[in-house]
């Protein structure tokens, strides 16, 4: 009994220290002991459980989760939905009585919907360098914290084009050019998040009123639509192993996964003029049962350890610019300097109209 109590007290002290550290903005400098203890009393989170809602691509090394639980005394439970769209829907439908305390994985294509429905509470986490530029506009900036980013870009199987002695495409226009007929695979905009991002990239490129013509040309040029990224990349793309189309809509990180073991070079490349940046956010839920611990989770996602694990775990870039990327990434995952952009508010205002028009064009 005594031993048990002692251990418990130690854990609380450790937790309190950790909470102090995290609450004081991830900074060791300038927080003395008295301040730390004061902080801990304000947030009695040790011994509680916090639930993180996310999508099925979320993954985190067990070691880091254990460390988090040890440092804070909080048990972290993860509940995942299939994708960002389903996650957003579930959060909105359950906003009065949420099934989690904190959510991660809503991206800039779904953010406005969640913000407008008041799903997220205000919490301004201390951002690492590099993250500030990825915040949303307006009041959403204080509710959703950027955690990672990756851009959806057209990918090309360079090996295929070299073998067949043909020129590679370089732009959106090329994909609708008869020279590259029947060579493109695209995941659907209504059924996959990279598909939607690609549609947005074309809308940003060609503008309202002209993107429809582009898509008519694209479909007329034999582009193949499939349900999700998997079907397009593994089912249709030559670089993914199964398919017979050398052009696919994927990510700027994808070339880091197609390295030829003999040459040490990647066999695919992303076209950096065809990109749309997806930023994934985390936020504390309005009506959360354990908001104090929820904030700790947001901070945890921004911690250097978690940020450093993102490329290997979730195939995305960390927002923290100090993190050193894995060697393959540094070499082959080249990021666009000037991605196409559509604001989150614009997306929310036009989503239905754009997707309906898109569906009409592609299923004609």
Partner 1 sequence: MGLVALAAGPVAVLGVFFVLPVSAMLGLGLWPDGELTLAPALEVLGRERTLRVLGFTVWVSAAATLGTVLLGVPTAFALHRLRIPGARAIRTLLVVPFVLPTVVVGVAFDQLLGEAGPLRFLGLGESPFAIVLAMIFFNLAVVVRTVGGAWESLDPRASEAAAALGATPWQAFRVATFPALRGAIVSAASVVFLFCATAFGLVLVLGGLKHATIETEIYLLTTVLFDLPAAAALCLLQFVVVIGLLAVAQRARRGQVAAQRVAAVRRAVRWPDLPAVVAAAVGAALVVLPIGSLLVRSVRVDGGWSFDNFRRLGVEDPTLPATVVEALGNSLRTAVDATWMAVLLGVTVAVVVTRRSHSRTERRLRGLLDGFFMLPLGVSAVTLGFGFMVALDEPPVNLRDSPLLVPIAQALVALPLVVRTLVPVLAGIDDRQRQAAASLGAGPLRTLATIDLAVVWQPLVAAAGFAFAVSLGEFGATAFLARDDAPTLPVLIFDLLGSPGAHHYGTAVAGAVLLAGVTASVMFLVERLRVPGVGGF
| Six token digits for residue 359 | 């569906």
From 3-11, 13-21, 89-97, 122-130, give the range in contact with partner 1 by CB under 8 A. 89-97
Regarding 67 and contact with partner 1 (CB under 8 A), the answer is no
Regarding 233 and contact with partner 1 (CB under 8 A), the answer is yes
What one-character DSSP code corresponds to residue 90?
H
Contact residue for partner 1 among 44, 130, 217, 228 (CB under 8 A): 228
Q: Give the span between the Cα atoms of 59 and 177, in whole angstroms.
A: 40
| Six token digits for residue 20 | 């102090």
Q: Which of residues 308-347 bind partner 1 (CB under 8 A)?
A: 312-315
| Six token digits for residue 13 | 């002290």
| Closest alpha carbon to 233 in 211, 219, 222, 248 | 248
Regarding 190 and contact with partner 1 (CB under 8 A), the answer is yes
Whether 229 and 187 have beta carbons less than 8 Å apart is answered as: yes
E strand or H helix at 213, and its extent?
A: helix 211-220
Number of residues that bind partner 1 (CB under 8 A): 62
From 16-24, 95-103, 125-133, 203-211, give the range in contact with partner 1 by CB under 8 A. 95-103
- Render the burial of 294-323: b for 16+ CB within 10 Å, e for the rest: bbbbbbbbbbeebbbbbbebbbbbbbbeeb
Regarding 252 and contact with partner 1 (CB under 8 A), the answer is no
CA 78 to chain centre: 17
Whether 53 and 81 have beta carbons less than 8 Å apart is answered as: yes
| Six token digits for residue 79 | 């509940």
Regarding 50 and contact with partner 1 (CB under 8 A), the answer is no
Nearer to partner 1, 38 or 359 (CB): 359
Q: Give the span between the Cα atoms of 20 and 29, in whole angstroms.
A: 12
Nearer to partner 1, 80 or 212 (CB): 80
Regarding 235 and contact with partner 1 (CB under 8 A), the answer is yes
Regarding 350 and contact with partner 1 (CB under 8 A), the answer is no
Regarding 103 and contact with partner 1 (CB under 8 A), the answer is no
Closest approach of partner 1 to the CB of residue 3, in Å: 31
Regarding 113 and contact with partner 1 (CB under 8 A), the answer is yes
Whether 144 and 106 have beta carbons less than 8 Å apart is answered as: yes
Regarding 243 and contact with partner 1 (CB under 8 A), the answer is yes
Residues that bind partner 1 (CB under 8 A): 51, 53, 56-57, 59, 61-62, 77-82, 85-86, 88-90, 92-94, 97, 99-100, 113, 188, 190-191, 196, 224-231, 233-236, 240-245, 253-254, 257, 312-315, 351-352, 355-356, 359-360, 362-363
């Amino acid at each position: 009994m005594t031993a048990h109590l002692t251990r418990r007290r130690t854990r609380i002290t450790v937790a309190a220290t950790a909470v102090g550290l995290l609450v004081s903005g991830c900074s060791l400098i300038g927080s003395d002991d008295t301040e730390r203890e004061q902080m801990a009393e304000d947030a009695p989170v040790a011994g509680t459980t916090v639930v993180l809602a996310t999508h099925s691509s979320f993954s985190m090394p067990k070691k880091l989760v254990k460390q988090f639980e040890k440092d804070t005394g909080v048990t972290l439970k993860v509940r995942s939905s299939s994708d960002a769209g389903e996650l957003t829907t579930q959060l909105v439908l359950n906003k009065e009585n949420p099934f989690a305390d904190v959510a991660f994985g809503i991206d800039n294509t779904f953010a406005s919907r969640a913000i407008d429905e008041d799903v997220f509470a205000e919490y301004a986490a201390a951002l690492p360098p590099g993250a500030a530029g990825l915040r949303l506009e307006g009041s959403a900036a204080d509710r959703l914290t950027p955690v990672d980013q990756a851009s959806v870009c057209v990918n090309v199987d360079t090996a295929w084009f070299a073998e067949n002695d043909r020129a590679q495409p370089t732009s959106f226009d090329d994909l609708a050019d008869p020279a590259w007929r029947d060579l493109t695979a695209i995941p659907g905009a209504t059924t996959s998040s990279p598909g939607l991002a690609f549609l947005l990239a074309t809308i940003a490129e060609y503008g309202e009123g002209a993107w429809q013509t582009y898509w008519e040309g694209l479909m007329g040029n034999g582009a193949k639509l499939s349900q999700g990224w998997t079907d397009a990349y593994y089912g249709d793309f030559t670089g993914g192993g199964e398919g017979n189309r050398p052009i696919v809509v994927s990510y700027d990180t994808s070339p880091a996964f197609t390295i030829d073991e003999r040459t040490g070079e990647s066999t695919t490349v992303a076209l950096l003029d065809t990109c749309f940046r997806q930023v994934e956010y985390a936020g504390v839920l309005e009506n959360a049962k354990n908001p104090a611990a929820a904030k700790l989770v947001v901070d945890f996602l921004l911690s250097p350890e978690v940020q450093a694990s993102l490329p290997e775990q979730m195939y995305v870039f960390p927002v923290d610019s100090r993190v050193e990327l894995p060697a393959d990434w540094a070499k082959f995952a080249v990021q666009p300097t000037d991605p196409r952009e559509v604001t989150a508010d614009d997306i929310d205002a036009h989503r239905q109209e754009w997707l309906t028009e898109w569906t009409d064009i592609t299923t004609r």
